[in-house]
Amino acid sequence: MTVLFRRAALAFVCLAVSAATQADDATPRFSSDQCAISTPYNVLVDTGGVWLYRDSGAPKEIFFHDGRLSVDREVQTVGTADAARLRQLESGARVLMPQVTTVARESVGVAFDALAGVVESMTGSARKVRQVERHRSDTLAYIDTTLGTGRWDQDVFGEGFESRIEAAAEQMTGSLGRSVMWQVFTGRAGRMEARAERLEAELDRKIEARSAALETQADSLCTQVRELQSIQAALDYRFNGQRLVMLEDAPPGD
């Protein structure tokens, strides 16, 4: 009985950690400072160009497309070299956004695979696993209608992404607790533990492999973000005498 409840407690801890998308150091947590680089802006990348916007601070809005620059809705004069740099920034953003979407979807896949694996091992219930899949579908749909459309809204996306995983973990944790107690009191604890032992090693291998691949993808994204920051730093344009900062080093500890 002690071993059983220790295993159950460990599973619940894993769920809580996974809910924060930090089940493994290789699993990226989605925020604007993922690569030790942050942006104070929300971002929209579409066929019309690249928009960066925020509620406060100066400038509040930056837009560039095909080498042209607008700051706070006023067209700015830029030289030939800066026009080329702006095109590079736009091209880089167009390449980066779909890749970020792919990594976000894969991160969701890893988190929900871990959650589904725990649910299956603890309950053996296909119905409960289907409940996890419904949460997965909801979260993927959320990604597709935000990042998938070229929009990174920090307030909406960050909270919305994690809240969906947290809600799934919380709901399933309550369900798992009831299932564990039922199996214990009906004499099925041994069967549950055997099932958990059988599935645990396989699940660990799958999650570890996918997390390693995810880390490689995330590292590649960070390399691209740093390249964009370098292009930004080379801009000759000045806003009120200051460099135009769209990407900046994240404060230590963030």
Give the model's pLDDT for residue 185.
43
- Is 112 within 8 Å of 137 (Cβ atoms)? no
Position of tokens 């706070």?
72
Segment 2-50, tens digit of pLDDT: 333 334 333 433 433 333 333 334 343 445 556 788 888 999 999 999 9
Segment 129-153, tens digit of pLDDT: 888 888 889 889 988 998 899 998 8
Give the model's pLDDT for residue 191.
57
What the block records as the tokens of 10 is: 């460990």
Prior bond to 59 cis, omega within 30?
yes
Give the model's pLDDT for residue 63.
98
75 Ramachandran zone, left/alpha/beta (phi>0; psi -120 to 50): beta
Q: Where are the domains of the chain?
A: 2-23+40-241
Pairing of β 242-243 and β 37-38: unpaired
Give the model's pLDDT for residue 67.
98
- Reported pTM: 0.75
Give the model's pLDDT for residue 120.
73
Which residue from 161, 214, 209 is spatially nearest to 26, judged by alpha carbons?
Answer: 214
Residue-level length of the chain? 254
CA distance 38 to 45: 17
What the block records as the tokens of 195 is: 């099932």
Query: CB within 8 A of 98, min separation 6: which ones?
Result: none
What 3-state class would DSSP assign to 87? Answer: helix
Q: Which residues of the chain have pLDDT under 50?
A: 1-30, 181-185
Element (H, E) at 62: strand 61-65
Output the CA–CA distances (angstroms, integers) from residue 64 to 49, 67, 126, 228, in the order listed: 6, 7, 50, 14
DSSP letter assigned to residue 228: H
Element (H, E) at 34: none
Give the model's pLDDT for residue 22.
37
Crossing angle of helices 80-123/2-19, nearest 10°?
160
- Is 117 within 8 Å of 203 (Cβ atoms)? yes
Give the model's pLDDT for residue 86.
98
Give the model's pLDDT for residue 13.
35
What totals of helices (H) and strands (E) does the chain contain, helices first? 5, 10
